[in-house]
Amino acid sequence: MRTTIIIALAMFGFIFKPFNNTESISKKVISCDSTPVLNKKIIEFVKTKIGKKVGKGECWDLAAEALNSVGAKWDGNYKFGTEVNYKKDCVHPGDIMQFEGVTLQYQIGTKMYMEKMQHHTAIVYEVNGKEDFVLADQNTGRSGKKVGLSPFKFADMTKGKFKVFRPTL
């Protein structure tokens, strides 16, 4: 009976394709492999500053000098380029993060740590995963007024918010 129905449908121009539940609907995959050229220049700048004090040693001094050194456009305040929707789009090394009222809690070995970033600016130095970065920043408990590297995992954030900005010309 099934074969007869399929043949009849084919005779009237219907195309029959059996459903195969191993087939999947393809989703748009965003490649995060291609870091923008301007971001690469910002990372090159940051590499020369690790362990050194930039400007007055305030957190935003690092982002300001990095952006100015590559001729990026920004508002001279806390809008460091074009805002990136980090939930949907790729975050790249060289993007800039602005934190507001953030609290992090994490464990290293058997010790628990808590960090607060009431108003803090950092540059994404490495991307280890969609929600796992290494930040370059200064004016922190870890590196003081000198540029240092610190981990940032979304899972460690218990409070607050942040924005991600992509440098632009």
Would you call 98 helix, strand, or coil by DSSP? strand
What's the rounded Cα separation, in Å, for the pair 151 and 135?
A: 6
Would you call 95 helix, strand, or coil by DSSP? coil
pLDDT at 114: 87
pLDDT at 32: 75
pLDDT at 145: 95
Where helices occur in 21-166 by DSSP H, the ranges are: 37-47, 59-69
Tell me the pLDDT tens digit for each residue of 107-119: 888 998 888 889 9
* Whether the predicted model's global pTM rises above the 0.85 cut: no
Please report how many Cα atoms fall inside a 13 Å half-sphere around the Cα of residue 16, on the Cβ side: 12
Would you call 79 helix, strand, or coil by DSSP? coil
Q: Which residues of the chain have pLDDT under 50?
A: 2-29
Please provide the CATH number assigned to the domain covering 37-166: 3.90.1720.60
pLDDT at 22: 41
Tell me the pLDDT tens digit for each residue of 123-157: 999 999 989 999 999 998 888 999 999 999 999 99
pLDDT at 71: 93
Q: Where are the domains of the chain?
A: 37-166
- Supply the DSSP symbol for 155: G
CA angle 160, 162, 167 (to 5 degrees): 170
